[in-house]
Amino acid sequence: MKKFGNNKKRANLLPLILAATMLLSACGSEEQDLSAPVVESIDAVSDTQQETAGQPAAQQEAPEQPVAPAENAGESSDVLTEEQAYAAVINYNKSIGSGYDGEINSDGYSEYWDVSTEDGKIVVLYRSYTAAQIRYYVDPVSGETYVTELVPGIIDEEQENGETFNARDYLEGPGQSAQTQPPASSDAPVEYETADGFMGSFLLSSDRDKIDTTNDYGVFYRVIYKATLEGDELTACGSMDYRNSKDQDPITISSDVTHVFKVDDNTVYMKGGEEGTETVSKEEFAGYLESRKDSGMYFEVEIVNGTVKTAQMYAQ
Which segment of 25-39, 86-100, 101-115, 127-141 scores lowest on mean pLDDT? 25-39
Which tens digit of pLDDT belongs to each residue from 191-228?
888 899 999 999 999 999 999 888 888 888 999 999 99
282-312 exposure pattern, b = at least 16 Cβ within 10 A, e = fewer: eeebbebbeebbeeebbbbbbbeeebbebbb
With a cut of 90, say whether residue 147 has pLDDT above it: yes
d(CA 173, CA 112): 21
Percent of the chain whose pLDDT exceeds 90:
42
DSSP string, 231-272: TTEEEEEE--EEESSTTSPPSEE--SEEEEEE--TT-EEEEE
Question: Distance of alpha carbon 160 from its chain centroid, rounded?
Answer: 25
- pTM of the predicted model as reported, rounded to 2 decimal places: 0.44
Q: Give the Cα-Cα-Cα angle 245, 251, 254 (nearest 5 degrees).
A: 115
Amino acid letter, residue 35: S
Q: What share of the chain is helix, strand, coil (3-state, %, to 5)?
A: 25, 30, 40
Return the pLDDT at 55: 53
Residue 175 confidence (pLDDT) above 70: no
Band (pLDDT 50/70/90 cuts) for residue 22 is low
Top-confidence residue, 153 or 42: 153
Give the model's pLDDT for residue 2: 41
Is 84's pLDDT higher than 90? yes
Question: Per-residue pLDDT tens for 236-253?
Answer: 999 999 999 888 888 888
Please report which confidence band the pLDDT of residue 34 belongs to, taking 50, 70 and 90 as the band edges: very low
The confidence score (pLDDT) of residue 29 equals 47
